[in-house]
Chains A and B, each alone.
Chain A
Amino acid sequence: MAEQRDEQRIVITGVGLTAPNGNSLPEFRQALLEGRSGVTAYETRYFGPTLAGVCNFDELRYQKRKEVRRGTRAGGIGIFCSHEAINDSCLDWANIDRSRVGIYVGVTEHGNVETENEIYLLKGFDYDTQYWSHHHNPRTVANNPAGEISLNLGITGPHYTLGAACAAGNAGIIQGVQMLRLGDCDLALCGGVSESIHTFGIFASFHSQGALAKHAEPAKASRPFDIDRNGIVVAEGGCMFILERLTDARRRGAKIYGEVAGYAMNSDATDFVLPDPGRQAECIQLALRRAGMTREAISIVNTHATSTSSGDAQECEALRRVWGDNGHHTLFNNTKSFIGHAMGAAGALELAGNLPAFQDGVCHATINVDRLDPQCELPGLVINQPRQTARIDAILNNSFGMLGINSVVIVRRM
């Protein structure tokens, strides 16, 4: 990848997002720089009071009420983010050949929300399945969020989701890059979405696992690297990027956020839930090799750390294996400390929140570190306050998930 011809070089030219603390990249970035959390008190069926990252975007900006009713929250999030990304890219959308647009959406899971809702409603009919909705299948097929984007925008190129646990946001981006390079599409709408806060099951399962965050102050609950961290704050959200070939972007004079310089995915093959720092480090090193970059060239590493006791320490171990004592001034930050864990959207949202650093030179912080866990000490960890630098040249974005799935994306300044 290091010496790609220009038509094989893939750049980001549009960003659309909804996060618990912002509904556009400028809003989101501002919140990250100001240390503003999006985590709030939340209550879900059966499970009761808990905490979550909740999005508050205008569902009716790009959908009719009927579409919202028929579709899924994940689909609605994807549609909102896709429109916003297209608008941001300044593409002449009316004249785009929509058979040449590909839609690649990362999801941690899909269908749990809709299935839980149907079973809840069916209980009112004594579990008589003749009252089971005909909408259940189109809502729960695994391609649903991408398919809803296709329907809403009249995109007739390929659409599908990538089920990649919490590595899914990066996986969506990687798929977009690959499909552009293969010539399968000329524009890729890609990223990730999450509707996970609408299923009680995810909260209950993390709780049973001892991995659900609790804190009297919601904004303090997601606290990666802090010694008192006690688990994940589940969040919803979405982020879709417009990717295109550098040649196409230059031809139309597009604003370019950065170039996807390298990526990698691999598997731990060790455990259902526990990460493996050895495989994580290998994934990072593979992405660096493919980008033709050394660790010294990375300005910011956006960590995956989810605020669990084991996961954060394991990732720090992986980072130490790559960066050693970090005499090269790479900075490390974390976005989940602000918004919680946006699951399938996490990788895409967290990358997006860092992209403006190419312009403003600021590395946003990881917040809520009152007492740094010695196991998580990393030279270059940007704690609680953003750090101004002279220049940011490359961002490396970690996203890892259950069943040992690892993903890394590197974006280079243009």
Chain B
Amino acid sequence: MTAADIRVAILDILHDIAPDEDLSGLKEDVPFREQLELDSMDFLDIVMELRKRYRVQIPENEYTELASMGSTVRYLEPRMKDIAK
């Protein structure tokens, strides 16, 4: 998956987790929490959905890498490069 593919995948997960939110204006390097109503359970949902959908394992001490769209894509790109779209 390319960076663009990963961004689409994350948006898809966010759409499911936060269905009331408008994601169209999501800023790349502003933390999700400053733009969306997300709490710790929602972040665990992101981790779980990545695990379920793409079998990506994220160690607990690296959850902070998922703070924003930019950091998430940068973190996941090398880990998902061999995953088919």
Chain A residues within CB distance 8 Å of chain B: 64-66, 69-70, 125, 130-131, 133-135
Contact = CB atoms under 8 A, between A and B. Distances in A.
Contacts of B16: 69
A131 B17 contact: no
B20 A66 contact: yes
B41 to A, nearest CB: 6
Nearest to B18: A66
B85 interface: no
B66 to A, nearest CB: 15
A65 B48 CA distance: 19
Interface of A is mostly: helix
B8 interface: no
Contacts of B37: 66
Q: Residue among A66, A125, A133 with the most chain B CB within 10 A?
A: A66
A134 B48 contact: yes
A131 B48 contact: yes
B48 A64 contact: no
Contacts of B19: 64-66, 69
Interface of B is mostly: helix
B17 A66 contact: yes
Contacts of A134: 41, 44-45, 48
Which range contains the number of B residues in contact with the other chain?
A: 10 to 19
A40 to B, nearest CB: 28
Nearest to A63: B20
Contacts of A135: 41
Interface in B30-83: 37, 41, 44-45, 48, 51-52
Contacts of A133: 48
Nearest to A65: B19
B11 to A, nearest CB: 16
Contacts of B45: 134
Given A125-B52, A131-B51, A134-B48, A64 B41 contact: no
Given A65-B19, A66-B19, A66-B20, A131 B52 contact: yes
A134 B52 CA distance: 13
A191 B18 CA distance: 31
A389 to B, nearest CB: 49
- 5 nearest A-B residue pairs (beta carbon): A65-B19, A64-B20, A134-B44, A65-B20, A66-B20
B72 to A, nearest CB: 19
Contacts of A131: 48, 51-52
B57 to A, nearest CB: 8
Contacts of A70: 41
A66 B36 CA distance: 12
A28 B39 CA distance: 39
A70 B45 CA distance: 10
6 contacts: A64-B20, A66-B17, A66-B19, A133-B48, A134-B48, A135-B41
Contacts of B41: 70, 134-135
